[in-house]
Amino acid sequence: MTARIYLPEETLAGVLAKAFGNRSFLIGFAITLLVAAIALLSFAWTPYDVTKLVIADKTQPPSWAHWFGTDHFGRDILSMIMVGARNSIAVALVAVGIGMGIGVPLGTFAAARGGLADEALMRLNDLVFAFPALLSAIMITAIFGPGAVNAIIAIGIFNIPVFARVARAGALAIWPREFILAARAAGKGATQITVEHVLPNIATLLLVQGTIQFALGILAEAGLSYVGLGAQPPMPSWGRMLFDAQTRMVTAPWMAIFPGMAIVITVLGLNLLGDGIADILDPKSRRRR
C-alpha cells in the first residue's frame, strides 16, 4: 500500500489543514503524545517506587491506593506501566533506527545501482524474510543472553529488510523523474543524487513505514519479554509484566489486564498516526473521501 504514496505537491498550510481534518491522525497523534508524556513523567514522578519490593502488599486488587493493583512483589502496577512505557518506546525506537540506518542506505543503493548488486541485495532480503522473525529473535537472545539491548538488536535486524524494500521501491519510482535526469545531466553522481534528491522525496514514505515498524516493535518487544527474553528486572517492561501475570491469571487477573491495555492503546495510537500520515500525504486520498 505504501508504494502508492508520492511526494506531497502541496503547501505546508494545506497539509496542516488536512491534518486537522483527519480523524485517524488526530486521535493517533493524541495517544502517541500522551504515551510519550507518561514515559517522560515517569522519570520525574511515579505514584510508587518501582524498584522497591513490598512483599506484604503482594497481589492486591485495584484500590484507591493502587489504582491498577499490585504485582506479586507488592509493586504498584500503575507505576510499573508508567516506567515500562520508557522501555517499550526505547526498544522500538532504536530498533526502527537500526532498520532505517542500515536498510535505507541498502535499499537506495540497490535502486541506484540496479543489476547484480540489486539482485543480490534483494535475494539477501528474501533470505532474512524466510526466517520466522520471532523464532530468530528467540535464537539471537539465546546466544547473547536475554536483555533489553539484545531484544533491540533482534528486532532491529528484522527491520532492516523492511526498510530496504520500502526505500528501494520508493527510490525506483523517483529515479525516472525529470529532475533526476536533470541532476544527472548536471554531472552529479549516484550518491549525491540519492542524498540530495531521492532521500528527501522518499522521506514521507519512510516516516509512514517508521510508525508501522515502531508499533510492530512494541508488539515484538512485548512478545520477547513475554517469553522471558526481553528487559530484565528490576527494569519494568510491559511484556515482562504479562510474563509474570501469566501464571497468576486465576488469582490476580489485574496483573495481566492493565499492562496489556497499555500495549493495545499505544500500538493503536501509533497505527492510527501512521494511517493518518499516509492519508494526508496520499494524493489518492482525495478521491477516496
Partner 1 sequence: MKLWKTILAASVLSLAAATSAFAARTDLTLGIVLEPPHLDPTAGAAAAIGEITYANVFEGLTRIDDNGQVQPGLAESWAVSDDGKVYTFKLHSGVKFHDGSAFSADDVKFSLDRARAKDSLNPQKPLFAHITDVTAVDPATVKVTLDGPQGDFLYDMGQVAAVIVGKASADGNKDKPIGTGPFKLDHWAKGSEITLVKNQDYWGTQAALDKATFRIVPDAAAAVPALLSGDIQAFANMPAQDALAQVQSDPRFTVVIGATEGETILSINNKKPPFDKLAVRQALASAIDRSAIIEAASNGLGKPIGSHFSPGDAGYVDLTGVYPHDIAKAKAYLKEAGLENGFSATLKLPPVPYARDGGQVIQSELKEIGVDLQIIPVEWAEWLSQVFTNKDYDLTIVSHVEPNDIDIYSRPDYYFQYENPKFNDVIKELGSTVDKDKRLELLGEAQKILAHDVPAVYLFELPKIGVWDAKLQGMWTNWPIEADDLTKVKWTD
Partner 2 sequence: MTAYLLKRLIIAALTLVLASMVVFAVMEILPGDPARLMLGLNASADQVEVLRNQMGLNAPLVLRYLHWAGGLLSLDFGRSYTYSVPVIDLVRERVAVSLPLALIALALSTIIAIPVGVFSASRQGRAGDTLTMGAAQLGVAVPNFWFALMLIYLFAVWLRLVPAGGFLGWSAGIWPALKSLILPAVALALPQAAILARVARSALIEVLNEDYIRTARAKGLPYRTVLWRHALRNAMIPVLTILGLQFAFLLAGTIIIENVFYLPGLGRLVFQAITQRDLIVVEGVVMLLVAAVILINLLVDFSYAIVDPRLRGRQ
| Greatest pairwise CA separation for the chain in angstroms | 76
**Would you give the binding string for partner 1 spanning residues 29-58, x where CB under 8 A is met?**
----------------------xxx-x--x
Q: Is 285 exposed, middle or buried (0-12, 13-18, 19+ CB in 10 A)?
A: middle
Joined grid coordinates for residue 55: 512483599
For the CB of residue 27, give the shortest distance to partner 2 in the complex, in Å: 9
Listed in sequence order, the DSSP H helices in 114-198 are 115-130, 133-144, 148-174, 178-185, 190-193
Residue 132 touching partner 2 (CB under 8 A): yes
Is residue 258 near partner 2 by the rule CB under 8 A?
no
Binding-site member from 21, 33, 52, 131 for partner 2 (CB under 8 A): 131
The region of 37-45, 88-96, 113-121, 226-234 touching partner 1 under the rule CB under 8 A is 226-234
User: What residues form DSSP beta bridges with 76?
Assistant: 70
Report helix, strand or coil for 76. Answer: strand
Residues 169-208 that bind partner 2 (CB under 8 A): none
Q: Does 232 bind partner 1 (CB under 8 A)?
A: yes
- 145 in the Ramachandran plot: left (φ > 0), alpha (ψ -120 to 50) or beta? left
> What are the residues binding partner 2 (CB under 8 A)?
1, 123, 126-127, 129-132, 134-135, 138-139, 142-143, 215, 219, 222-223, 226-227, 242, 245-246, 249-250, 253, 256-257, 260, 263-265, 267-268, 271-272, 275, 287-289
